[in-house]
Amino acid sequence: MIRLDRAGGYAMIHKPSSLAERPGAHKNPTGTECLNFVTEFLDTVGVIRGDNMADDLSDIIDHYSSDPEMERQRLVRHQLEHDLTWRYLDNYLPARGSVLEVGAATGVYTVELAKRGYNLTSVDLVAALLDECRKSLAAKSLEEQVNLVVADARDLSQVAEREFDAALIMGPLYHLVQEEDRITALSEVSNRLREGGIIFSTFISRYGIMGDVMKAIPNWIEDQTGVQFLLEHGRKPDHYPKEGFRGYFATVSEIAPLHEELGFESMVLAAVEPAISADDESYNRLQGKQRRLWLNLLYKISTDESTIGASRHLLYIGRKR
């Protein structure tokens, strides 16, 4: 089986010397089997393709540019994810300092962090989203505290500062479908944190999404090839999906090692959109004391291993060694 391992931050390819080594292979593969093998191999070796290896992200830019308001409203729809994430930010961010936010979108976190006195550099791939962020900052006279940068998480060369106290990368890692791209993005962030700096990164859970998929596209289950591919690779078989949601869906077990190999000490892996919120509306309706008490309960159980994999959104917190 083709396998992509990481060692000391570098990707290594392990491939069978012939198609016959693949599990379940037989001596005389059909033409389709050969073609599938080659396609899968080329897909997997993106890391050694050389100069053209960068995945084309224009579909993400198109997706978010078409409706910035929809993205701004995302955390209005997913209030539990928002509130639990804030609990963790409140508890793990240093009391003051500089923050790098990568995937800042319309600035839901950036604006509030600036209001609380942090200095920020906020990066996003999509200029139309940062334009909205700029307007929100201006409306609150906070623009002096935030440096907005249109850039790809995989290349933060426009961000010169190397001593951020904390970094948020909440979005890009579930849009980068190639493992080497997720490693590059995390390395770029790590290189800009001071020693002891804190990283907050988010993922979408491979199994936690199943309720949404069943609700939105019940007939997906009939495409057993696609189902199997998602379970094994965490994404659609199509390498460059040009429509719909281009997502990478992580397993719980890969998240801490991914960060640890890049020099982070793991502190928390939490369910910030537990399965219990599958119908968001019940939490969104809560007010006052009831809302606070439910949030307390969900915060308390958010690190129990039985809730993590079943959560839609996962939050990792680590400290740079």
Ligand X SMILES: C[S@@+](CC[C@H](N)C(=O)[O-])C[C@H]1O[C@@H](n2cnc3c(N)ncnc32)[C@H](O)[C@@H]1O
Q: Which part of the chain contacts ligand X (CB under 6 A), choosing from 44-52, 165-173, 226-234, 271-279?
A: 165-173
Q: Does 199 engage in binding with ligand X (CB under 6 A)?
A: no
Measured in whole angstroms, the distance separating CA 5 from the mean position of its chain's CA atoms is 19
Q: How many residues bind ligand X (CB under 6 A)?
A: 23
From the CB of residue 106, how many other CB atoms can be counted at a distance below 10 Å?
27
Q: How far apart are CA 163 and CA 287, in angstroms?
A: 40
Q: Which part of the chain contacts ligand X (CB under 6 A), choosing from 9-17, 117-125, 157-165, 281-289?
A: 117-125
47 membership: H or E segment, kind and range: none
Residues 217-256 close enough to bind ligand X by CB under 6 A: none
Strand, coil or helix: 2? coil
Q: Does 171 engage in binding with ligand X (CB under 6 A)?
A: yes
Measured in whole angstroms, the distance separating CA 149 from the mean position of its chain's CA atoms is 19
Strands (E), the chain: 3-7, 10-14, 98-102, 119-124, 146-150, 164-169, 193-205, 249-250, 264-271, 313-320
Q: Does 57 engage in binding with ligand X (CB under 6 A)?
A: yes
The strand pairing partners of 178, in sequence order, are: none
Q: Does 204 engage in binding with ligand X (CB under 6 A)?
A: no
Q: Does 264 engage in binding with ligand X (CB under 6 A)?
A: no
Q: Does 64 engage in binding with ligand X (CB under 6 A)?
A: yes
Using DSSP bridges, classify how beta strands 146-150 and 164-169 pair: parallel, antiparallel or unpaired: unpaired
| Contact of 75 with 82, CB cutoff 8 Å | yes
Residue nearest to ligand X (CB): 171
Q: Does 111 engage in binding with ligand X (CB under 6 A)?
A: no
Q: Which part of the chain contacts ligand X (CB under 6 A), choosing from 147-155, 207-215, 226-234, 252-260?
A: 147-155
Nearest to 213 by CA among 257, 247, 167: 247
Of these, 89, 105, 137, 189, which contacts ligand X (CB under 6 A)? 105
Q: How far apart are CA 240 and CA 253, in angstroms?
A: 25
Q: How far is the CB of 201 from ligand X (least distance, A)?
A: 10
Of these, 84, 111, 125, 262, which contacts ligand X (CB under 6 A)? 125
Q: Does 84 engage in binding with ligand X (CB under 6 A)?
A: no
Q: Which part of the chain contacts ligand X (CB under 6 A), choosing from 25-33, 119-127, 229-237, 300-308?
A: 119-127
Q: How far apart are CA 260 and CA 255, in angstroms?
A: 9
Q: Does 170 engage in binding with ligand X (CB under 6 A)?
A: yes
Of these, 121, 133, 166, 172, which contacts ligand X (CB under 6 A)? 172
Which residue lies nearer to ligand X by CB, 123 or 295? 123
Which residue lies nearer to ligand X by CB, 37 or 84? 84
Q: How far apart are CA 45 and CA 3, in angstroms?
A: 10
> For binding to ligand X (CB under 6 A), which residues are involved?
57, 60, 64, 71, 74-75, 102-103, 105, 108, 123-126, 129, 152-154, 170-172, 175-176
